[in-house]
Amino acid sequence: MRTSSNPAFRNLPHQGSGYATFNTGGQPAGYQAGYQEQPGYQQQYDSRPGISERPMTVDDVVMKTATSFGITLVAGFLTAFFQAYYLALPAVLIGLGVGLFLSFRPRPSAPLTLTYALSQGVALGAISALVNLRFPGIVVQALIGTAGVFAGMLVVYKTGAIRVTPKLTRWVIGALVGVLVLVLANLVASFIVPGGLGLRSGGAIAIIFSIIVIGVAAFALLLDFDQADEMIRSGMDAKWAWYAAFGLTATVVMLYLEILRLLSYFRQD
């Protein structure tokens, strides 16, 4: 299994090629059947971590991810509608805690995934409402942009226009680490010099940086799609679809925030 750029998809159980694989080549006919004829094979197979009688399917991933996205959107809308800005900080802290827990201790959990989606929705709703007060209509533009990038990268992945290779995976992971280092460096520098390194000041450097971050997040989606596909091919338990939904939600949240930030630069006086 490839290593994803998204921390949520790292450290997953490595299953190898399971019976749910979409690949029909690579092994001679009867290869798997030959092993299945050996005494005790089925018991050993069924006892592997993450394997159950009902392996994960594409529908599982789609439904769980759609549920996660839906809760995020509804929570965001309600927070903005009732102007519950005071919930932003608690939501950020809860989302950060749950996100780190799921990222570094992978486990399929519907309650934790939905808690993360809910907290992110509340935080995004408060942030979006405040930004929209200054730049009317910007939230709709950001949502359309995010949906467009998500759909576009899904088409790119499904058509194979860009193949997810180990080299691409390493590049995206390195780019994400680089972005994180630069954001932290800019934050530290802002305490010393007004505007820090200029990465979030709204100027030309900030615009270029935001475009780069959006591009990295878009490629991270490719890796997330591939990781979910790999989980399906490996025959992992259907409940792991919740973990795939968490990873995709985390990447989309990052993408939306950066698109919102970039649009705000263009709307500044």
Q: Which residues pair with 120 in a beta bridge?
A: none
> Is 7 domain-assigned?
no
Q: Are 2 and 226 in contact (CB under 8 A)?
A: yes
In a domain, 106, yes or no: yes
237: β partners: 55
Tens of pLDDT, residue by residue over 197-255, are 999 989 999 999 999 999 999 999 999 999 999 999 999 999 999 999 999 999 999 99
Both tokens assigned to 26: 């690579």
Tokens of 62: 């789609």
Q: Is residue 105 part of a domain?
A: yes
Q: Is the pLDDT of residue 18 over 70?
A: no
| pLDDT for the residue 269 | 67
* pTM higher than the cut 0.85: no
The tens digit of pLDDT for each residue in 164-213 reads 999 999 999 999 999 999 999 999 999 998 888 999 989 999 999 999 99
Number of structural domains (the chain) is: 1
**Residue 24 lies inside a defined structural domain of this protein:** no
Whether residue 39 lies inside any domain: the answer is no
Is residue 98 assigned to a domain? yes
CA distance 62 to 205: 37
Nearest to 10 by CA among 177, 153, 124, 202: 177
Structural domain includes residue 44:
no
Residue 224 lies in domain: 54-267
Matching residue, tokens 């200029």: 198
Cβ atoms of residues 2 and 230 within 8 Å: yes
Give yes or no for residue 7 having a pLDDT over 70. no
Instruction: Decide if 154 is inside a domain.
Output: yes
What's the chain's length in residues?
269
CA distances from 264 to 44, 114, 129, 200, 219 (A): 56, 29, 13, 11, 23
Nearest to 220 by CA among 9, 4, 69, 62: 4
